[in-house]
């Protein structure tokens, strides 16, 4: 076998955004911008009906409607966990009465948004490549006996490699995305929250292959428009059995927003401890 397979990436090039509806833009600003340290996209969706929040090369899309919650965890990398903890303490008063809470775990910070989405905030580490700010993974809890079929789906339909890994909680399947991102699927015995319409957006190098597979099986939920389509039913390719529901916005690299450059501020800047020339943050290690 030829060497250097570690240089390869699969067909899914990036996980670009997670879209969850939120109930209130001022609370979302307190949580995602002031607390987590994200940066509001200054160019698009700057009103009160939606907000896009940049975290490195990824985004949250936060339309104002009935809140949506992912039954699982969104992984984030932040530059400084201690600074994060201080910022979260500062927004606690403003988010009182909501589901907002946070606790320091051994090697990450577990943070819950005002509507119940849970974030694992990690320091930069080799597992996440050279990322110093961003969204390296989203973990979904799935029904017992479905993980293998889910991994088969991404492998067969999307050409995305996967591994089965083990952490402190147990075994999970990891679908590889681009250089340093992944989607995690972890089986759980507890009952799962019904799917509420949240979505993820991915970019793929080969677009027609996944489209053809899903289209021939009646699984496209929104047909191609502006270089993207949507689907939400993940089926086991071995038998067609539905194994998980998650809306994916699937974009080709010809989508006008591919590799859009996101503005990131350095959340460590403050009026008091201002450092001239250091307003912007580069979300990669030097
Ligand atoms: Fe989207």
Mean per-residue pLDDT of the chain: 97
Measured in Å, residue 68 CA sits from the centre of ligand 1 at: 14
Please give the sequence-ordered ranges of beta strands (E in DSSP) within the chain, or none if there are none: 12-19, 39-40, 52-55, 58-61, 72-78, 101-104, 108-112, 118-123, 134-142, 162-166, 171-177, 181-187, 199-204, 220-225, 228-235, 242-252
Measured in Å, residue 3 CA sits from the centre of ligand 1 at: 37
The tens digit of pLDDT for each residue in 112-142 reads 999 999 999 999 999 999 999 999 999 999 9
Region 66-80 average pLDDT: 98
Measured in Å, residue 125 CA sits from the centre of ligand 1 at: 28
Measured in Å, residue 59 CA sits from the centre of ligand 1 at: 10
Is the CA virtual torsion 119, 124, 129, 134 positive or negative? positive
Is the pLDDT score of 1 beyond 70? no
- Taken as a whole, the chain contains a residue count of 286
Measured in Å, residue 199 CA sits from the centre of ligand 1 at: 6
The tens digit of pLDDT for each residue in 157-184 reads 999 999 999 999 999 999 999 999 999 9
Tell me the pTM: 0.97
Structure tokens at 148: 């293998």
- What are the residues whose beta carbons fall under 8 Å from the beta carbon of 44, sequence distance 6 or more? 52
Number of H helices, E strands in the chain: 4, 16
């Amino acid at each position: 076998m030829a060497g250097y397979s570690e240089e390869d990436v699969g067909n899914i090039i990036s996980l670009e955004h997670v879209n969850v509806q939120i109930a209130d833009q001022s609370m979302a600003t307190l949580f995602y911008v002031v607390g987590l340290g994200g940066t509001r996209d200054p160019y698009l969706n700057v009103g009160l009906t939606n907000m896009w929040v940049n975290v490195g090369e990824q985004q949250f899309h936060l339309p104002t409607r009935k809140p949506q919650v992912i039954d699982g965890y969104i992984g984030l990398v932040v530059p400084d966990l201690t600074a994060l903890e201080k910022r979260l303490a500062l927004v606690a008063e403003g988010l009182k009465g909501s589901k907002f809470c946070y606790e320091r775990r051994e090697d990450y910070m577990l943070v819950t948004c005002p509507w119940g989405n849970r974030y694992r905030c990690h320091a930069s580490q080799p597992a996440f490549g050279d990322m110093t700010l961003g969204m390296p993974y989203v973990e979904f809890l799935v029904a017992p006996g479905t993980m293998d079929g889910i991994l088969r789906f991404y492998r067969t339909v999307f050409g995305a490699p996967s591994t089965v890994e083990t952490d402190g909680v147990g075994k999970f399947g990891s679908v590889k995305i681009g250089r340093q991102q992944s989607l995690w699927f972890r089986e759980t015995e507890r009952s799962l929250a019904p799917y509420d319409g949240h979505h993820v957006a991915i970019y793929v190098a080969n677009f027609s292959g996944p489209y053809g597979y899903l289209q021939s099986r009646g699984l496209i939920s929104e047909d191609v428009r502006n270089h993207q389509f949507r689907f939400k039913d993940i089926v086991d390719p071995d038998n067609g059995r539905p194994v998980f529901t998650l809306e994916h916005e699937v974009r080709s690299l010809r989508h006008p927003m591919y590799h859009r450059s996101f503005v990131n501020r350095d959340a460590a800047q403050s009026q008091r401890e201002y450092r001239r020339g250091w307003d912007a943050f580069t979300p990669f290690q030097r």
